[in-house]
Amino acid sequence: MILKELFKGLPYTLPEAGPLEITDIVYDSRKVTPGCLFVCLRGAAVDGHTFALQAAQQGAAAILAEEPLKVPVPVIVADNTRKALAEVSAAFFGHPAEQLQVIGLTGTKGKTTTAWMIRSILEKAGHKTGLIGTIGTVIGDQILKTNNTTPESYEMQHYLRMMVDAGCDTVVIEASSIGLKAHRTDGMTFDYGLFSNFSHDHIGGNEHKDMEEYLQCKQLLFRQCKTGIVNVDDPSWERIVEGHTCTLETYGFREGVDFQGSNAHLLRHPGYLGVGFTLTHKGQSTSVQVGIPGKFSVYNALAAIAVCSHFGVTEKDINDGLDAVKVKGRVEIVPTGGDYTLLIDYAHNALSMENILTTLREYHPNRLVVLFGAGGNRPKVRRFEMGEVCGRLADLSVITADNSRDEDVMDIIADIQVGMDKTDGASVVVPDRREAIRYCIEHAEPGDIIVLAGKGHEDYQEIKGVKYPFDEREIVAEILKEAKTKGEQPNGNDS
């Protein structure tokens, strides 16, 4: 693409130069290729401006920077190169968002599950729907791994182009506060923006300096979408939509909302944990069933229904989509053939652990057993808090490894036990996570609910800088197969 075409309609001054062909856009100096536009991004540890000369010497045709540079190629100066990267990336890939219905989700909890609910309903209604989020980028049956919940803008636009080329007509994007802050979703307009909830998270380090900044970043979605859909049961909703430029719709349990939930109740039968509720919209009521446990699933389902209502979906599409939706690593039930329930969940901090354990306690299990560890190279206070929460809410805690990274797993476990010792909760320590899973299965009692917490959708364990293959679904299957080979039969049927 010619440089002038790439910047057409954008508020940047181009240097005097003849027709200059741009072959790609690159923001990592290690990936510079001849003819590319090199974009200088300022990061927490590295400033891309220091690599501009190197990029030019390696063949970059032009540089996009936040200041004039002495390099032997044209330099385009922008106030914010992250924003400019998003804009030129959209142009480079032919503005693919304009050929899709684009749905953006923001909120502290529930983005991933709600995104998959939306996708499931829309797919049932015949919409080929892509998804970009925590679990990766989904195009048809293909899942592409991504480094961030909301990828960098260049990757974002590339994925959108792939979706259009694959015949998608809709995309669901998890718009994280970090992604919004870093302009990763700039360069396009969301048709629908959704707010789920707001609570303490992502504060400190390279994330947000305080809760106010965290909230302000979430506000950005509602200045970048046409229709905003918000959970008015969350006490922060009015702050979230301050300065919005979109039409607003509401959902929740209170009277007067556009999509109202009521009569939420838990559902449990062999191999199934779910929730049912009544949906009221425009004076019409209908019963809805969701194949994901917990009353919080009602809020996620209300949000999904509110979005999908704009796509002409039927009541059958909604019920079929919500009943069939399975989200990898989010209260994901794994069949065992035993008369206990085993599930995998991504809960990896005190807040998410308290949410999942409190939810599962409502199903009145014989015992609530939680297997968990804590990440290395992370604040110790998180370990204390997790230990205390699990000791208080679980009948048995099986303490083991997670991603220990550069730390010794026994040091991490010792920190967890500091919190555990503040409670009367029972616990055992099995440092090897595979053996800890085996312990849970071999010691399961009828009616137990067992949670393998922390890994969720991850299929690896990170130890001393190396990521080793570790998919808990596969490990459970292997352990059950070994037991069957030895003639050990699991108890009855799943409950």
Q: What is the pLDDT of residue 208?
A: 63
Kindly tell me the sign of the dihedral angle through the C-alpha atoms of 471, 477, 482, 483: positive
User: Residue 302's closest CA among 121, 102, 123, 100?
Assistant: 121
pLDDT of 494 reads 43
SS3 of residue 244 by DSSP:
coil
- Straight-line distance from the first to the last Cα atom of the chain, in angstroms, rounded to the nearest whole number: 58
Question: Is pLDDT at 204 greater than 70 in this prediction?
Answer: no
DSSP 299-364: HHHHHHHHHHGGGT--HHHHHHHHHH---TTSSEEE--SSSSEEEEE---SHHHHHHHHHHHHTT-
CA dist 480 and 205 (Å) reads: 42
Assess whether pLDDT exceeds 80 at residue 253.
yes
Q: List, for residues 363-395, the tens digit of each pLDDT value.
A: 999 999 999 999 999 989 999 999 999 999 999
Rounded-to-integer distance, Cα 12 and Cα 264, Å: 53
CB proximity list for 394: less than 8 A, separation 6 or greater? 357, 368, 369, 370, 425
Q: Would you say 242 and 198 are in contact if contact means Cβ atoms under 8 Å apart? A: no
Helices within 209-250 (DSSP H only): 211-219, 237-240
* Res. 176: pLDDT tops 70: yes
Q: Is the separation of the CB atoms in 114 and 121 below 8 Å?
A: no
Q: Give 329's contacts (C-beta < 8 A, 6+ positions apart).
A: 135, 344, 345, 346, 455, 456, 457, 458
Percent of the chain surpassing pLDDT 90: 82
* Residue type at position 404: S
The average confidence (pLDDT) of the chain is: 93
Angle of helix 296-308 versus helix 111-124 axis, rounded to 10:
50
Residue 153: per-residue pLDDT: 97
Is residue 51 helix, strand or coil? Answer: helix
Tell me how far apart the alpha carbons of residues 19 and 1 are, in angstroms, rounded to a whole number.
Answer: 10
Could you count the other beta carbons within 10 Å of the beta carbon of residue 16? 5
As given in the structure block, the two tokens for residue 276 are 């049912």
pLDDT tens string 53-93 = 999 999 999 999 999 999 999 999 999 999 999 999 999 99
Q: What is the pLDDT of residues 151-163, one digit of tens each?
A: 999 999 999 999 9
Note the pTM of the prediction, 2 decimals.
Answer: 0.86
